[in-house]
Amino acid sequence: MIPSATPFSLDDTVTARWWRRLVGSGAQAKRHWRTKTTYYDAVGGLLRTAGSTPLTWQSIVAAARPNGNRSTFYEVTGPSAKHALITDLRAASSLDAMHICLWYQRRSVVDQLIDETKVWAYWPHREALVARYRIAPDLGPAAAADLLISSVAAWARNTPYLARALNNAPPVCAVEDLVAVNGGRLSPTNSYTRLSAAIRDATAGQPAPDAAAAAA
């Protein structure tokens, strides 16, 4: 029999609840999620090929095929966005969520979209990690943290152009998860710093996006 319990839960983080609400049910939510993923995919593709060229809302809209436009872009990101992850973080009552939120306050709507794109791109790695936790319910905090950091590093090696964006900012969900697996003994700031360092180390020596595109 495969155990299903772990000494910590990653089901009730702000990001996990946000993800379930958008992906889980309801035709309207699913339509909005499809729109979001169109823009996430556009951001990932542009970061992979743009090199040092800064992303703009115009370049993202142009890449968001087949129906990118200004109105849907600002439904996905920015101060009036529908179901923005940063909005959920700001509304959370926990002190940890408030501290995490401080790391992800962005002046640029494009940067806010990049943060959500990182969560979207990392999520399959997160699901694989949660599955590993479920078959090892006696895993201690240190070992669980090491697995999580390794998961983020593996994601970063696979998508270095996205992982390095915003000064190696980790996916928000990974910061929340690292705090959770440590039972609150590791602060959000230390969690962010450790994961950012793991991304930097994992992508060291990787080619720049424009060089990678030229070699493809």
The per-residue pLDDT for 93 is 85
> 178 lies in a domain?
yes
Q: Compute the mean pLDDT over every residue in the chain, rounded to the nearest whole number.
A: 88
Over residues 175-210, the pLDDT tens digits come to 999 999 988 789 999 999 999 999 999 999 776 654
The per-residue pLDDT for 213 is 37
State the average pLDDT over residues 120-135.
Answer: 95
Tokens of 9: 């839960």
Residue with tokens 């060291």: 204
Amino acid at 89: L
Count of the separate structural domains present in the chain: 1
Over residues 51-83, the pLDDT tens digits come to 667 899 999 999 998 888 999 999 999 999 999
Between 172-181 and 141-158, two packed helices, what is the crossing angle to 10 degrees?
160
Amino acid at 100: I
Range of the domain at 121: 14-206
Residue with tokens 């020596």: 205
The per-residue pLDDT for 209 is 55
> 169 lies in a domain?
yes
The per-residue pLDDT for 106 is 94
> 174 lies in a domain?
yes
CATH of the domain at 63: 1.10.357
Residue with tokens 């999520």: 123
The per-residue pLDDT for 216 is 29
Number of neighbouring beta carbons within 10 Å of residue 1 = 3
Specify the long-range contacts of residues 105-111, CB closer than 8 Å, at least 24 apart: 106/166, 109/57, 109/74, 109/77, 109/78, 109/79, 110/55, 110/56, 110/57, 110/60, 110/77, 111/166
> 1 lies in a domain?
no
> 92 lies in a domain?
yes
Q: In the chain, what percentage of residues exceed pLDDT 70?
A: 88
> 198 lies in a domain?
yes
State the average pLDDT over residues 85-112.
Answer: 93
Q: Is residue 141 exposed (0-12), middle (13-18) or buried (19+ Cβ within 10 Å)? A: middle
The per-residue pLDDT for 173 is 97
> 9 lies in a domain?
no
* Centroid of chain to Cα 14: 12
The per-residue pLDDT for 125 is 98
Over residues 99-115, the pLDDT tens digits come to 999 999 999 999 999 99
The per-residue pLDDT for 214 is 33
Query: What is the reported pTM?
Result: 0.90
> 33 lies in a domain?
yes
Over residues 1-43, the pLDDT tens digits come to 344 445 578 998 999 999 998 887 666 767 889 999 999 999 9
